[in-house]
Amino acid sequence: MNTAAQRRGSDLARQIVVLSAVSFMLIAAVIGAGAFGNSAVQDQQGGALNTDGSYLAPAGPAFSIWSIIYLGLISYAIWQALPSQRTSPRQRALGWLVALTMTLNGLWLVAARFGTLFLTVVVIALLLAALGWTFRVAVSTREPRGGVVDSVLIDAVTGLHLGWVTLATVANTAAWLTTIVPKEWENAADAIGIAVLIVVALIGLAIAWRSSWRLTPALALAWGLSWLAVERFTGEPQSAPIGVTALIVAAVVLLPPVIVNVLRLIRPSVD
């Protein structure tokens, strides 16, 4: 088989794998939502993944961002399967990576349903790493972009996914640690929570800087942090210091990319 034929076969295989990955992710999401009579994700693992599972869990409405992320990933899977996208250099660079993130997304739901809480931490850490890698390739690749659709379904959707999973990894890890650390550690919960949120701020700023101040990761991260603050002010366990810190971190993460992008609109030469 010649090289051109091998490349065509690889392109078709990539498109099929992406469609298979999004199908797996959606099936896992439906099961995770409790659609078939099983308990929903927040009720699994003894309720550790619920909004009261730790001091760093966001309020329930925060998770509505998954609807946007899933819609974007479904749209991407359909778009990349078009014949016009089969030999796209961007798809060749990113299709397999996006498929990996969707597969890990679904595997997290499987781990939450059938595995242990520690296993969910392992899977979400792998998902975060895969998303960071995918987003880095997406914003740094030199292959020509396919216009607005390309930018939205690859850069923007991956950015939202990355931003949200950054905070979800923190919440997931905090939920696991809450179940294994001594009860006395709760006395230091405010200090620990504030320290973790400062690290989140640094991570959010690093993502923005390394991606030339892309906005979508910051939007997703600030969204989650805002709902984390709401839960700490109004839910259980309550913590005004963590709530205030979460709001400050949300602003710290969001404002720099907003300012840079506004300046770019005013002065297109701004880097």
Q: State residue 197's pLDDT score.
A: 98
Q: Which amino acid is present at 250?
A: A
Q: What is the mean pLDDT of residues 182-187?
A: 87
Evaluate whether 231 touches 51 at the Cβ level (below 8 Å). yes
Q: What are 90-142's pLDDT values in tens digits?
A: 999 999 999 999 999 999 999 988 889 999 999 999 999 999 999 999 998 66
Query: What pTM does this model have?
Result: 0.93
- 98 or 42, greater pLDDT: 98
DSSP 8-state code for residue 33? T
Query: Does residue 42 surpass a pLDDT of 90?
Result: no
Which single residue is written with the structure tokens 């990933």?
A: 73
What percent of the chain clears pLDDT 90, i.e. is strictly above it? Answer: 76
DSSP 8-state code for residue 267? S
Evaluate whether 217 touches 166 at the Cβ level (below 8 Å). yes
Q: Where does the chain show beta strands of DSSP type E?
A: none
- 137 or 8, greater pLDDT: 137
Evaluate whether 228 touches 179 at the Cβ level (below 8 Å). no
Sign of CA dihedral 126, 41, 95, 13: positive
- Name which of 50, 25, 39 is nearest 171 in CA terms: 50
